[in-house]
Amino acid sequence: MRLVLLGPPGAGKGTLAGFLNKELDIPHVSTGDILREEMKNNTPLGQEVKKYVESGGLVPDEVVIKLIKNKFSNGEVDKGYMLDGFPRTEVQAKDLDAILTILDKPVDYAVYLDASLPVVIERLTGRRICRSCSAIFHIKNNPPKKEGVCDECGGEIYQRPDDNEETIRTRMDVYLENTKPVIDYYNAQGKLKKVDADKDSQEVQENLMKIFDSTGG
């Protein structure tokens, strides 16, 4: 199965991706991870990405598309994929479709995790991350056993500077403005599968599997 995961920050894309990877053995392809991997390996594309990152600029669409093309050409996603972090605009969705058509790996479904602003704010303002191993906790839903200390490695747990209500509201506005055309794009293709992401993660997972079962996915 070939999926694109859509949803605002805090909608639960990472949790859902982990579930689908375990349940259906579909590789999770995060564009952020691809960017970091290329920079770490100091590839020619990674060097190009690093210039934009270090200057504080956005990595151009054509560079991200090249990275995805490379990733999808090495055999890792022959049995399927979950693409997370791209596309974020309609232009990106069209460029992605063009590349995936050439590679004969077109998107089957675009899964949209529809989360409301109050739920996103609650999730993100309560999120805490380990400085050492990046393990994620939540002060209400998944608190560490010892306050301020990571269960996994004993590292310090902190709150990201952008996980505050004002910044989250701005990020949500920007996301919805940019992503609505993407949602409409996949909906027009009959590929959009919308899930109520305000529910708890288990219910979201069960509802999505019902959708896949009903469509023969």
> What pLDDT tens digit does each residue of the chain (217 aa) get?
999 999 988 898 888 988 998 988 999 998 888 888 888 889 888 898 888 878 877 788 888 888 888 888 888 888 899 999 889 889 999 999 999 999 899 999 999 999 999 999 999 999 999 999 988 899 988 899 999 999 999 999 999 988 999 999 998 888 888 889 999 999 999 999 999 999 988 999 999 999 888 776 5
Domain membership flag for residue 195: yes
Domain count within the chain: 2
Burial code (b: 16+ CB inside 10 Å, e: under 16) for 187-201 equals: eeeebbbbbebbeee
Residues 22, 84, single domain; the answer is: yes
Point out the residues that are catalytic: 13, 88, 127, 160, 171
pLDDT on residue 152:
93
Residues 112, 196, single domain; the answer is: yes
Strands 2-6 and 109-114: parallel
Domain membership flag for residue 112: yes
pLDDT on residue 166:
92
pLDDT on residue 216:
63
pTM summary value: 0.82
Residues 179, 99, single domain; the answer is: yes
Order of all β-strands in the sheet with 192-196: 28-30, 81-84, 2-6, 109-114, 192-196
Residues 147, 61, single domain; the answer is: no
pLDDT on residue 144:
95
pLDDT on residue 127:
93
Range of the domain at 150: 127-162
pLDDT on residue 94:
94
